[in-house]
């Protein structure tokens, strides 16, 4: 179980409820997933994290599905079980097909492999890839 248990809506103070309400209306869902209930013991952490996520995951130069795929890629690389489960579900809601998921995993797998090969062979950055020349 979560370290301090979960803060259910019925037991939440007004500050926490306001965040819960905003999560549900922004995401067009009628429930709150455990992540938010677990961190809601610290309303400032809850509010800051939600507002950052809301800002970051909104449509912009990248569309929301791509952002969810990126979230899954990071979560898989970090091995965060909760995050893999929750963001895979979110990506499916955003339209991720099984084919997209398989390609996502294929890229994540190869990137993790070649990251280590670049480390292990101590490869120097090509001048053409040096930043800020673009």
Hey, which residues between 10 and 69 contact its own copies (CB under 8 A)?
A: 31, 33-35, 38-39, 41-42, 44-45, 48-49, 52-53, 55-57, 60-62, 66-67, 69
Query: CB of residue 32 vs its own copies: minimum separation in angstroms?
Result: 9
Would you say 21 or 42 has its CB closer to its own copies?
42
- Compute the distance between CA of residue 26 and CA of residue 32 in angstroms, rounded to an integer: 12
How many C-beta atoms surround the C-beta of residue 20 within 10 A? Answer: 20
Interaction mask 75-104, its own copies, x per CB under 8 A: xxxxxxxxxxxxxxx--x----xxxxxxxx
Query: CB of residue 25 vs its own copies: minimum separation in angstroms?
Result: 18
List, in order, residues 6 or more apart from 36 with CB less than 8 Å away.
19, 20, 23, 46, 50
- Compute the distance between CA of residue 76 and CA of residue 108 in angstroms, rounded to an integer: 8
Query: CB of residue 19 vs its own copies: minimum separation in angstroms?
Result: 15
């Amino acid at each position: 179980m979560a370290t301090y248990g979960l803060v259910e809506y019925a037991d939440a103070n007004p500050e926490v409820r306001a965040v819960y309400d905003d999560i549900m209306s922004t995401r067009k869902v009628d429930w709150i997933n455990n992540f938010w209930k677990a961190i809601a013991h610290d309303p400032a952490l809850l509010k800051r994290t939600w507002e950052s996520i809301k800002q970051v995951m909104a449509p912009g130069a990248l569309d929301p599905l791509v952002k969810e795929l990126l979230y899954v890629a990071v979560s898989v690389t970090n091995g965060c079980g909760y995050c893999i489960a929750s963001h895979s579900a979110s990506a499916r809601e955003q339209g991720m097909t099984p084919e997209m998921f398989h390609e996502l995993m294929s890229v994540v797998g190869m990137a993790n492999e070649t990251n280590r090969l670049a480390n292990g062979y101590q490869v120097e950055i090509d001048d053409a890839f040096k930043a800020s020349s673009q």
